[in-house]
Amino acid sequence: MSRRTRALLGGVAVTSGAAGVLHYADAPALVAFVVAAFALAGLAWLVSFTTEQVGGHFGPAVTGLLQSTLGNLPEFFVVVFALSAGEVVVAQFSIIGSIFANALLVLGFVIVVGARESSDGIMRFSPRLPQDTATLLFLSGFIIVLIGVSAGTHDPASDDIVTISAIASVLVLIVYGVWVYGYLKTEAAAAGVPRAPATMPLRTSIALLALGGVGAAFVSEWFVDSLRPTIDELGISAQFAGLVIVAIAGNAVEHVVGVVLAAKGQADLAISVVKNSVAQIAAFLAPALVLVSLLFDHHLTFDLAPVYVAALALTILSIWQVTGDGEATYFEGAALIATYVILAVFTLYE
């Protein structure tokens, strides 16, 4: 374990501990919230890092499989606790916020950095993964748009949104499973999935992964707990909180690794980190949470406010347009970032 890794692990442990103390000491909500947000971002990194370490002992297919399922564990806990606290809007916006933050903000930065790195200003990568992600996003987008328009126009089917969402979730999960199976078989064998040689013993990795998971569960609860008073104190909208703050803390920070890979000129790996994450949230985490939420009083459905349905549809098209041809320029990265900022500004006025 490198000194840097040790320092990071220590930092995560300390911040998580501080978040717990602040929570149980009934500290001012804003302080508790900020510390919990940092702890959550750190735990998201820890889960992502240890997943890769465990996978490193078994090869790329296992790494990919672990990443495809455990990669959004902290996000998962945040949404579960938000739902159990009755914060349905925050829960929904954490999920679609993660899609926006990764697909627009993180991908935009990856492209800006990657294009600067390239000698002719064009970042090049295999178009296969962006096309696959587009297909998965179109599928999830189809059900979200269908339900959004149905609810918005008081279509008869809008009375059965919970049932339709659940059935659609099962179908999306099946397609995601088919994709992961095919992707791991072909791409992982080649070079599409980031592979880190394990630098820690398997036992340590598993222990740290377990610790990260348990930690994420606790910190998520504290984070969600302090979210509502913080929103009220700052006078921001729940949409902004979910779309910007929760999404960046719970999800985007860990993808700084994509930007780092882009800066090293590893365009394919950089794109795959971000793209896989977007595909996973849209086609695995979201439908899985819809099904899990059936156990709760407040159900998560694909029913979103029309503006966000439209924003999501256009985001799916934008990232397909920018990356579908296997080339991206500095300016295209800037356009994605600007799209995210426009959306974030918009939520400020909700």
Which residues contact a second copy (rule: CB under 8 A)? 120-121, 127, 131-132, 134-136, 138-139, 141-143, 145-146, 149-150, 152-153, 155-157, 159-160, 163-164, 167-168, 171-172, 174-175, 178-179, 182-183, 186, 237, 305-307, 309-311, 313-315, 317-318, 320-322, 324-325, 329-332, 334-335, 338-339, 341-343, 345-347, 349-350
DSSP state of 300: P
Count how many Cα atoms sit within 13 Å of the Cα of residue 234 in the half-sphere of its side chain: 18
User: Cβ of residue 322: shortest distance to a second copy, in angstroms?
Assistant: 6
CB closer to a second copy, 206 vs 335 = 335
Return d(Cα 345, Cα 347) in angstroms, integer. Answer: 5
* Separate counts of helices (H) and strands (E) for the chain: 16, 2
Residue that is written with structure tokens 């985490």 in the block: 285
**Do 43 and 251 touch, CB atoms closer than 8 A?**
no
DSSP H or E run through 327: strand 327-329
Structure token digits, residue 181: 């199976």
User: Cβ of residue 93: shortest distance to a second copy, in angstroms?
Assistant: 14
CB closer to a second copy, 83 vs 267 = 267
Residue 49: C-alpha distances to residues 194, 197, 206, 272, 302 (Å)? 12, 12, 11, 16, 31
Return d(Cα 307, Cα 210) in angstroms, integer. Answer: 39
User: Cβ of residue 216: shortest distance to a second copy, in angstroms?
Assistant: 30
CB closer to a second copy, 18 vs 89 = 89
CB closer to a second copy, 41 vs 283 = 283
CB closer to a second copy, 85 vs 175 = 175
Residue that is written with structure tokens 């949470």 in the block: 289
CB closer to a second copy, 36 vs 289 = 289
User: Cβ of residue 247: shortest distance to a second copy, in angstroms?
Assistant: 17
3-class DSSP state of 124 = strand
Pick from 303, 295, 245, 289: nearest CA to 98: 245
The number of residues making up the chain comes to: 350
User: Cβ of residue 179: shortest distance to a second copy, in angstroms?
Assistant: 4
User: Cβ of residue 29: shortest distance to a second copy, in angstroms?
Assistant: 24
CB closer to a second copy, 249 vs 283 = 283
Q: How far apart are the first and last CA of the chain?
A: 46
User: Cβ of residue 235: shortest distance to a second copy, in angstroms?
Assistant: 13
CB closer to a second copy, 65 vs 249 = 65
User: Cβ of residue 310: shortest distance to a second copy, in angstroms?
Assistant: 5
Q: How many CB atoms lie within 10 A of CB 25?
A: 8
